[in-house]
């Protein structure tokens, strides 16, 4: 087992793409939508670690193993200006409850501040009460009544 | 009154910022949240029309008057890769029902294709059935059960 603080948070690197993809699948399983994942670790490599990265990611490493990640990008709110959009915050199963998610979330908030964002946005499933309890500690506001819409091209 | 096709769609310019801000307020009133708008037309100018624009916007012009807009930015879906996120699609009150929203939406989809996005995402309020009917024509999928979360910094 791991100690509560025995991990470090660092910027994700190209070599992390395969394990990031594993974490993404793990979250998609939890969210009951594994069939929605069409991304691949090769695409993660190209999209995130080339000349014009499409996202910014942090990973949590325990010894040399990546056990969690936070992935975000910038978004523009017509109401509130520049925002950091947190796409995914994931800690792998048996590493939860150790403060890793907290550390990832707080480092992500730091990035939002450094980048002069007026705030952070993200989504969670309405039945995910552990996530809600986690985010409530930070004074997050939750809003229901919106539908997510999409078209695949 | 205007004819059905008597308008043109063009890329938004810096000078459009004040009327864009008016449209943003109009939508916020419709969505019953005008108090949530802290953005200003000066910020829109800086954020959208400087060296590193934070968003991409189209406007619909009838004669020289801007009567609608679409505003979007890129987002990264861990499930589906690069996406175009449509933040707002607005047509001002008495110019609705003339095909302006359709033209704006279709031009925005073209941009998503040109930019190699795997698709487009956006949100709508669950009581906004005219919007739902509009988007259904394009084969959009809608998903409920998500909460929007945010922290202002």
Distance from CA of B93 to the nearest CA of A (A): 19
Q: For the domain that residue B106 is a member of, what is the CATH number? A: 3.40.630.30
pLDDT at residue A31, rounded to an integer: 87
- Measure Cα distances from A106 to A101, A102, A132, B48 in Å: 8, 6, 16, 28
- At residue A82's C-alpha, the angle toward residues A60 and B8, to 5°, is 130
Total residue count of chain B as it appears in this document: 153
B152 interaction partners in chain A (CB closer than 8 Å): 80, 118-119
| Chain-chain contact of A118 with B152 (C-beta, under 8 angstroms) | yes
List chain A residues with CB under 8 Å of B110. Answer: none
Position B109 pLDDT exceeds 60: yes
When pLDDT is averaged across residues B91-96 and rounded to a whole number, the result is: 94
Residues of chain A with pLDDT under 70: 1-5
Over 80: is that where the pLDDT of B4 sits? no
H or E segment and range at residue A75: strand A65-77
A147 falls within a domain:
no
Q: What CA–CA distance (Å, rounded) separates B64 from B57?
A: 17
Task: Please tell me the predicted confidence (pLDDT) of residue B6.
Answer: 85
Give CA–CA dist A94/B42, Å, rounded. Answer: 49
Query: How far from chain centre, in Å, is Cα A16?
Result: 14
Residues from chain B that touch A133, judged by Cβ atoms under 8 A, are none
- Rounded to 10 degrees, the C-alpha dihedral A18/A115/B73/B133 comes to 100
Q: Considering the candidates A25, A56, A76, A135, report the single residue annotated as catalytic.
A: A135
A105-139 per-position pLDDT tens digit = 999 999 999 999 999 999 999 999 999 999 999 99
Strands A119-125 and A81-91: parallel
Nearest CA to A119 out of A89, A150, A84, A75 is that of A84
Per the domain annotation, does A58 fall within a domain? Answer: yes
| Residue at A142 is within a domain | no
**Quick one: which of A36, A51, A43 has its CA closest to A20?**
A43
- Evaluate whether residue A96 is within a structural domain: yes
Distances in whole angstroms, Cα of residue A65 to Cα of each of A18, A20, A68: 12, 11, 9
Cα R_g (chain A), whole angstroms: 15
Q: A68 lies in a domain?
A: yes
Minimum-distance CB partner of B123 among A47, A146, A153: A146
- Give the pLDDT of residue B2: 43
Residue B143 lies in a domain: no
The ipTM, to two decimals, is 0.93
Render pLDDT for B26-72 as a digit per residue (tens, 0 to 9): 999 988 889 999 999 999 999 999 998 999 999 999 998 999 999 99
Give the nearest partner residue to A147 out of B113, B124, B150, using CB atoms. Answer: B124
- A5: Cβ–Cβ under 8 A, 6 or more apart, which residues? A99
Closest Cα in chain B, distance from residue A51 (Å): 15
Question: Is A76 one of the annotated active-site residues of the chain?
Answer: no
**Percent of chain B residues topping a pLDDT of 90:** 90
Residue B1 scores a pLDDT above 90: no
Mean pLDDT of the B119-132 span: 96
* Nearest of A116, A117, A124, A128 to residue A144 by alpha carbon: A124
Give the range of the structural domain holding residue B21, as residue numbers without chain letter. 8-136
**pTM of the prediction?**
0.93
Q: How many domains does chain A have?
A: 1
Q: How far apart are CA A53 and CA A16, in angstroms?
A: 15
Contact A149 B123 (CB under 8 A): yes
Contact A59, A20 (CB under 8 A): yes
Residue B118 counted as domain residue:
yes
Catalytic residue among B56, B76, B135, B138: B135
Q: Does residue B153 lie in a domain region?
A: no
Contact B121 A80 (CB under 8 A): no
Q: At what angle do helices A100-114 and A129-136 cross, to 10 degrees?
A: 50
| Contact indicator for B83, A73 with CB cutoff of 8 Å | no
């Amino acid at each position: 087992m791991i100690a509560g603080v025995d991990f470090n948070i660092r910027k994700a690197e190209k070599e992390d793409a395969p394990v990031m993809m594993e974490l993404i699948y793990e979250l998609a399983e939890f969210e009951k939508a594994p069939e929605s994942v069409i991304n691949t670790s090769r695409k993660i490599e190209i999209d995130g670690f080339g000349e014009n990265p499409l996202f910014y990611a942090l990973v949590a490493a325990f010894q040399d193993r990546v056990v969690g990640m936070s992935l975000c990008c910038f978004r523009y709110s017509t109401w509130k200006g520049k925002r950091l959009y947190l796409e995914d915050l994931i800690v792998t199963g048996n590493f939860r409850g150790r403060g890793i998610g907290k550390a990832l979330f707080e480092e992500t908030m730091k990035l939002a501040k450094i980048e002069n964002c007026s705030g952070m946005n993200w989504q969670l499933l309405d039945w995910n009460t552990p996530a809600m309890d986690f985010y409530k500690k930070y004074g997050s506001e939750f809003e229901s009544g919106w539908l997510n819409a999409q078209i695949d091209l």
